[in-house]
Structure 1
């Protein structure tokens, strides 16, 4: 059974979820047509919804895999909530979940005790010849030096904004420094819009980005882990964000926004200009924004005397993993 599961993941890796853009023409490589299925079924839990573009790509890839190999796949779209509330109890109870996907950090921390080492599989199929090196490195770093998951669907964090609002406000250049960011916020406010919104689910993102710009990632980890809240960088963050608040650069409801109200009611409805979020944001609210919404994004601004500049960013991916008990 484990051989079939490894084959399934290998074929999905080779397909690269390109079926949506390639008309469904895929190839599984030399091993696919020789698989001995023995009536086995691979159970795959996905964090996506079937209606999402990534869910549709996964569905097409699974169908191509089944047609090529004859192996059955029980594909179950659980969505974010279903995975995060149901996967660990299912694994603890011994429920059959052979393959699953989740975010890079969750798979390589929360679910790390449940997954198998994939170093040999990746080497067998020369996966790293075409994989993004930074994502492979991230997976190994989080898992203590071993490849326990296969990254896909890369993402990054940035300020995502409504280009129409910036145009109306007369913003012609994106900010690279904190002072330039403040100037842009003032222009947006004067144009009649709230510059910044957020939701409770992402409320710590601004703190984390600002602090890491000031002192670097390693020091942020020390501050948070050791509770060193008297560090001068924490006070500097508080002062900088107090200025944003006192100047009216946040939406009035920012303290009470419960996800996804801020991204839908503020960004989607055109009441606020920008939101520090991941590159999944445009897809999450596409039903509200519609096809003509003009998105843009820029990196978190540099801070005077800070440890990190624009060269540093927050990135990640979703990952596949194989249940080591399968």
Structure 2
């Protein structure tokens, strides 16, 4: 799956989108054991580490999880809860809500006061649906808590870029989420069948790779066009390289809409974006996810641009097909367009937050710190095949290229889509960006008409919001 957008309203479209989403590591509810990685069983059966903090008053906490119990992340978190109870005596009452359950349960619960003590989601959805309405509390004190590795604290073990960014601040400037997993995105290909692929440094080199794929009798780019935030990748990735971290978000927040016209980088990014769709696989805009992604896994297309969860999803798909088909996953980042000056890399944090009305915050915060212990968080790499916000844990082979980009000190870190998907509870992207972006990808409008449309529609949108 993908990282579904955060929304305030429970629209029919949102519910359908979230239901379609599996996880960043496979379809929701799918059997995770089918593709267990080396080290998974060793992790699940290893002894429990000692906690750095033991709650003194709370004897239980309630946790609503975005995962299901049989997903890889669910299995890791089950061990964390079991160990936490074993070592502290605090009982963890868990509800495995999955993505749809999170939206249909937690958001409405904010109006009742019957909320959990702890929940998890990606930072954009928490910001859009929970924090902005005032439904979270600060977790700043968690960063000073020990994780059970001597004197090491949460702050000591986390990469600053995983939590210290504007979109993780509430209205008082406090952090509202502590991350335990990271996502990023890349161009993917199969090393075993693609031949030599040198990561491109220019857009011309990227399109040359596409041309070579076509010459080899392959579709160049697989694209699931029914997923609006998959379609969003191309323009946002390119625009970020022209305007830098925060540039897209500031433009989208401009109540006059004129910011889209004053910086030529937005038009240049649209011009570069328009060069990519001619290489999309036939039927990209008529299929139902994950049909096109599966066509890539079956070898019909050479490249696929999507998040760091795709190795797990496609590996699981191929396993269910039977046979011995495997993919040797390679990846690279978008190149720098001519004239761009910001060498950016996107990332998205998934983590824990605490509702404003939570009753057992002492236990919730202690559990957050415990989960970040290296002997617990290790499971997110060896069981779930995902990235984590600690630099001292092993990286799955499939994701080493992405992790190298995230860790590159020369890169400018940007929240996925520069946070556009969380703006105005997600409504700005749905009402303003998505229709224009699809028109651009389908060549119904020119790049200039695209930015003109963003300017006009943004102004209309903010006027309707009372801005």
Report TM bin, short chain.
0.7 to 0.9
Where do 5+ consecutive residues of structure 2 fail to align?
Answer: 1-39, 147-152, 320-324, 359-467
Residue in structure 1 matched with residue 452 of structure 2 by the alignment: none
Residue in structure 1 matched with residue 23 of structure 2 by the alignment: none
Say whether the 8 Å CA contact 1:102–1:319 is kept in structure 2. yes
Which of 331, 342, 356 does residue 297 from structure 1 map onto?
A: 331
Q: Distance in 2 between the 1:197 and 1:214 partners?
A: 25
Say whether the 8 Å CA contact 1:108–1:139 is kept in structure 2. no
Distance 1:53 1:192, change over 3 A: same
SS in 1 for 2:334: coil
Which of 54, 75, 83 does residue 102 from structure 2 map onto?
A: 83
Does the alignment pair 1:283 with 2:304? no
1:294 Cα deviation after fit:
1.3
Distance 1:196 1:30, change over 3 A: closer
Say whether the 8 Å CA contact 1:44–1:73 is kept in structure 2. yes
Residue in structure 1 matched with residue 143 of structure 2 by the alignment: 122
Which of 255, 259, 266 does residue 289 from structure 2 map onto?
A: 259
Higher RCO (CA < 8 A, seq sep 6+): 2
Residue in structure 1 matched with residue 299 of structure 2 by the alignment: 270
Q: Distance in 1 between the 2:46 and 2:137 partners?
A: 30
Does the alignment pair 1:50 with 2:69? yes
1:213 Cα deviation after fit:
1.6
Say whether the 8 Å CA contact 1:140–1:146 is kept in structure 2. no
Say whether the 8 Å CA contact 2:65–2:97 is kept in structure 1. yes
Say whether the 8 Å CA contact 2:242–2:340 is kept in structure 1. yes
Which of 201, 212, 216 does residue 191 from structure 1 map onto?
A: 216
Residue in structure 1 matched with residue 158 of structure 2 by the alignment: 131
Residue in structure 2 matched with residue 143 of structure 1 by the alignment: 170
SS in 2 for 1:203: helix
Say whether the 8 Å CA contact 2:44–2:76 is kept in structure 1. no
Distance 1:98 1:252, change over 3 A: same
1:272 Cα deviation after fit:
1.8
**Per-residue Cα deviation, 1:179-233 (whole angstroms, up to 9, x for no partner):** 1101101111111221212223211111111111223233322333333454644
Q: Distance in 1 between the 2:186 and 2:350 partners?
A: 17
Q: Distance in 2 between the 1:20 and 1:118 partners?
A: 32
Residue in structure 2 matched with residue 5 of structure 1 by the alignment: none
Residue in structure 1 matched with residue 271 of structure 2 by the alignment: 239
Q: Distance in 1 between the 2:165 and 2:42 partners?
A: 27
Say whether the 8 Å CA contact 1:151–1:318 is kept in structure 2. yes
TM-score of the superposition, structure 2-length normalised? Answer: 0.58
Say whether the 8 Å CA contact 1:158–1:298 is kept in structure 2. yes
Instruction: Tell me which moved more, 295-304 or 194-203.
Output: 194-203
- RMSD over aligned Cα atoms: 2.6
Q: Distance in 1 between the 2:316 and 2:211 partners?
A: 30
Distance 1:140 1:190, change over 3 A: closer
Say whether the 8 Å CA contact 2:240–2:342 is kept in structure 1. yes
Count of residue pairs brought into register by the alignment: 298
Say whether the 8 Å CA contact 1:104–1:139 is kept in structure 2. no
SS in 2 for 1:217: coil
Q: Distance in 2 between the 1:254 and 1:181 partners?
A: 20
TM-score of the superposition, structure 1-length normalised? Answer: 0.81
Does the alignment pair 1:23 with 2:38? no
